[in-house]
Amino acid sequence: MSEEMWINMGPQHPMTHGLWNLRVRVDGETMTAAEPIVGYLHRGWEKMVENRTYPQIIPLADRLCYGSSFTWSHLYCLAAERVFNIEVPERAQYIRTACIEMQRISSHLMWLAAVGTDLGSYTILLYGMRERELFLDLMVELCGARMTYNYVRIGGVRNDTPPDFERNVTRVLDTFEPRIRDLEALCDECETFRMRTIDIGKINAADAMNLGLTGPSMRASGIDLDLRRHDPYEIYDELDFDVCTHTDGDCYARYRVRMDEMRESVKIIRQCLEKMPKGPTRVKVPRCPPKGTAVARVEDPRGESLMYMVSDGTDKPYRLKVRSPNYVNLSASPAMLLGNKISDVPAIMGVLDMCIGETDR
Amino acid sequence: MDIDLSYQAMTMTAKQFGEMTQNFIRETAVATGAKKAIDKLTAPIWSWGQRNAIYPLHFGIACCALEMAAASAPRWDAERLGLIYRSSPRQSDVLLLNGWISAKMRPTLRRLYEQMPAPKWVVAMGECSVSGGPWYDAYNVIQGVDTFIPVDIYIPGCPPRPDAMIDGFLKLNRKITAENRGRFLDD
């Protein structure tokens, strides 16, 4: 005889990174239904930016997803540049690409730290945050802020790199690269970590495609799709890097993909520094763009993020639609949760890399 | 308490008798001034214990939650100041609000605040919870948490650095010292 019951997790729960509510129906310990409820961080971003001029939106775009704020402000500027019809100087493109990859590393490190605490290993948090500080220091040196940078501008970047920046980045990368192995060892050689991630939250390639998963969660199911490769923006088509995929589709595969991506990011940053040309970093931009629409999409650390912008010729956008990768990934989470035990919820949801700021907008 | 009821003690349940005795002791202590005297003597001990073991609620809302995590990470190591995050509001002393509060979250947050046991403080971290911050004209964001729960410490910044957060908690530390409240026979 079994009795089913509903369990609420959140909005205040150590499993939820941010505010959201997960309702699961359990039969014994097995989940038979799951229903994520979002909206606790909704602040009407898309409506709000209709009352802001184009440059005023950049800091707000930073705060869309605080884990990878650089990527979001960059995505906004990319969309705006397509509306304004302007070309970004080459040096600015290189600086942006290097920063995006640094942001990807720090976002993945934050994710690793969060997953570590979710799975009961505080050590991973301590080590992950230690490495993250290295990259945040570089960003402080570059633009003065640790998390919300406000550094990308429509038509370039705010300022050129400070003196000795390239040397400092190389030093940090030299320190960080061997430490990835240490971080992996903390997880791979931990029996508990492997038991709690291998074969948990499985999703196959067809389901991942149908549910609209993107980013590392999708590549872990064996689908080779990376917008940096398939729809290159900035200077990604000139760089040499691999798209990391895995075939298992479980939590462990998602973890592996992210760890491999950090290695690739280190490679990309090194190439950017090597090829970086001299020149201006910003072009002048008119106040009002011509009438028109534009779409820009980039590979966020969490998946494919997209912005659709409509301009009516004034200095404020008429409409700005955001496609956040996490909103779609979260709606795919019931497919991963069903059939697993209730104690696997932190592992599955933690490995998805939740960021509710961009989900609720 | 009604002292006249004491002759009914034999017909009371054990719980009622316990409550009656406790009330009697408390009221006698207050009436004779013994509570005041004992409070004055023991207050430094209470506040010493409270200020050195500040347990904030593990409640990550938005951007500042990452700085909260960074503050407990090795570089800042807030745990040396007694900041240990507890996951249940029933075990925590401080409600650390690190993000914007939406209209949907407001009743839940009020309930979280009321679930916390009595000596409790609220720290508003970041512009969003101090005054609404960058979302000053958003239709769904509460313009400052002090509109519905009392706030003790404000930490400005968007987001504040972990240093600023630790500074805020040191100010809370000083505030608890200055309050110097005895809690003899308090619930």
Residues A207-225 have a mean pLDDT of 88
Q: What is the CA radius of gyration of chain A?
A: 20
Would you call A113 an interface residue with chain B, using a CB distance cutoff of 8 Å? yes
Return the SS3 of A37. strand
A293 CA to chain B: closest CA distance, Å? 25
Q: Is residue B57 part of a domain?
A: no
Instruction: Indicate whether B108 and B160 sit together in one domain.
Output: yes
> What residues 86-125 of chain B have any CB closer than 8 A to a CB of chain A?
87, 89, 99-100, 102, 104-105, 108, 112
Minimal CA–CA distance to A69: which of A22, A102, A27? A102
Instruction: Indicate whether B126 and B171 sit together in one domain.
Output: yes
- Secondary structure (DSSP) of B48-117: HHHHT---BB----SHHHHHHHHHTSTTT-GGGGT---BSSGGG-SEEEE-S--BTTTHHHHHHHHHHS-
Q: Is residue B110 part of a domain?
A: yes
- pLDDT value for B47: 85
pLDDT band at A318 (very low <50, low <70, confident <90, very high): very high
- pLDDT value for B9: 60
- pLDDT value for A294: 92
Measured N-to-C along each axis, helices B162-179 and B63-71 cross at an angle, to the nearest 10 degrees, of 80
pLDDT band at A2 (very low <50, low <70, confident <90, very high): low
- pLDDT tens digit sequence for B55-104: 998 888 888 888 888 888 888 988 888 888 888 888 898 999 988 899 99
A293 pLDDT exceeds 80?
A: yes
- pLDDT tens digit sequence for B112-124: 899 998 888 999 9
Instruction: Indicate whether B110 and B34 sit together in one domain.
Output: no
* B65: chain A residues, CB-CB within 8 Å: 17-18, 66
Q: Is residue B69 part of a domain?
A: yes
pLDDT band at A347 (very low <50, low <70, confident <90, very high): confident
What φ, ψ does residue B123 adopt, rounded to 5°? -115, 120
- Cα–Cα distance for residue pair B29/B39, rounded to 1 Å: 11
Instruction: Indicate whether B24 and B81 sit together in one domain.
Output: no
Q: What is the CATH number of the domain that holds B159?
A: 3.40.50.12280
Q: Between A43, A126, A147, which is nearest B135 by CB?
A: A43
Contact B102 A42 (CB under 8 A): yes
Q: Between B100, B159, B161, which is nearest A43 by CB?
A: B100
- pLDDT value for B41: 86
- A101 residue type, one letter: E
Would you call A179 an interface residue with chain B, using a CB distance cutoff of 8 Å? no
Instruction: Indicate whether B148 and B97 sit together in one domain.
Output: yes
- b/e string for B16-25 if b means 16 or more Cβ within 10 A? eeeebeeeee
Return the SS3 of B121. strand
pLDDT band at B155 (very low <50, low <70, confident <90, very high): very high
Mean per-residue pLDDT of chain B: 86
Q: Between B58, B134, B158, which is nearest A14 by CB?
A: B58
Contact B69 A125 (CB under 8 A): yes
In DSSP terms, A306 is beta-bridged to A297, A323
- Cα–Cα distance for residue pair A97/A152, rounded to 1 Å: 11
Which domain does B28 fall in, by range?
13-51
A215 pLDDT exceeds 90?
A: no
Minimal CA–CA distance to A68: which of A148, A3, A123? A148
- b/e string for A207-226 if b means 16 or more Cβ within 10 A? ebeebbbbbbbbbbbebebb
pLDDT band at B7 (very low <50, low <70, confident <90, very high): low
- pLDDT value for B123: 92
Q: Is residue B132 part of a domain?
A: yes
Is residue A66 within 8 Å of residue A111, measured between CB atoms?
no
Contact A48 B138 (CB under 8 A): yes
Contact B63 A42 (CB under 8 A): no
Q: From the candidates B104, B127, B139, which should be mutated to test the interface with A, based on the most A CB atoms within 10 A? A: B104
Instruction: Indicate whether B40 and B77 sit together in one domain.
Output: no
Q: Is residue B6 part of a domain?
A: no
* B75: chain A residues, CB-CB within 8 Å: 129-130, 133
Measured N-to-C along each axis, helices A90-118 and B63-71 cross at an angle, to the nearest 10 degrees, of 70
- pLDDT tens digit sequence for A92-146: 999 999 999 999 999 999 999 888 888 888 888 889 998 999 999 999 999 888 8
Instruction: Indicate whether B25 and B45 sit together in one domain.
Output: yes
Instruction: Indicate whether B22 and B96 sit together in one domain.
Output: no
CATH 1.10.645.10 fits A4-196+279-360, yes or no: yes
Contact B62 A147 (CB under 8 A): no
A19 pLDDT exceeds 90?
A: no
A34 pLDDT exceeds 70?
A: yes
- Cα–Cα distance for residue pair A83/A311, rounded to 1 Å: 7
Contact B69 A113 (CB under 8 A): yes
Q: What residue in A sits closest to B161 (Cα-Cα)?
A: A146
- pLDDT value for B5: 59
pLDDT band at A309 (very low <50, low <70, confident <90, very high): very high
- Enumerate the domain spans of chain A: 4-196+279-360
In terms of C-beta density within 10 A (0-12 exposed, 13-18 middle, 19 or more buried), how is residue B55 classed? middle
Is residue A269 within 8 Å of residue A98, measured between CB atoms?
yes
Residues A211-230 have a mean pLDDT of 88
- pLDDT value for A64: 87
Instruction: Indicate whether B113 and B88 sit together in one domain.
Output: yes
Is residue A80 within 8 Å of residue A88, measured between CB atoms?
no
A348 CA to chain B: closest CA distance, Å? 19
- pLDDT value for A339: 85
Residues A52-58 have a mean pLDDT of 90
- pLDDT value for B6: 60
Mean per-residue pLDDT of chain A: 88
Which run of H or E residues covers position A260?
Answer: helix A251-275
What is the number of domains present in chain B? 2
* B138: chain A residues, CB-CB within 8 Å: 43-45, 47-48
Q: How far from the centroid of its chain's Cα atoms is residue B143's Cα?
A: 21
Contact A11 B105 (CB under 8 A): yes
User: Quick one: how many helices (H) and strands (E) in chain A?
Assistant: 15, 8
Quote the ipTM score: 0.83
- The contacts of residue B107 (CB under 8 Å, 6+ apart) are none
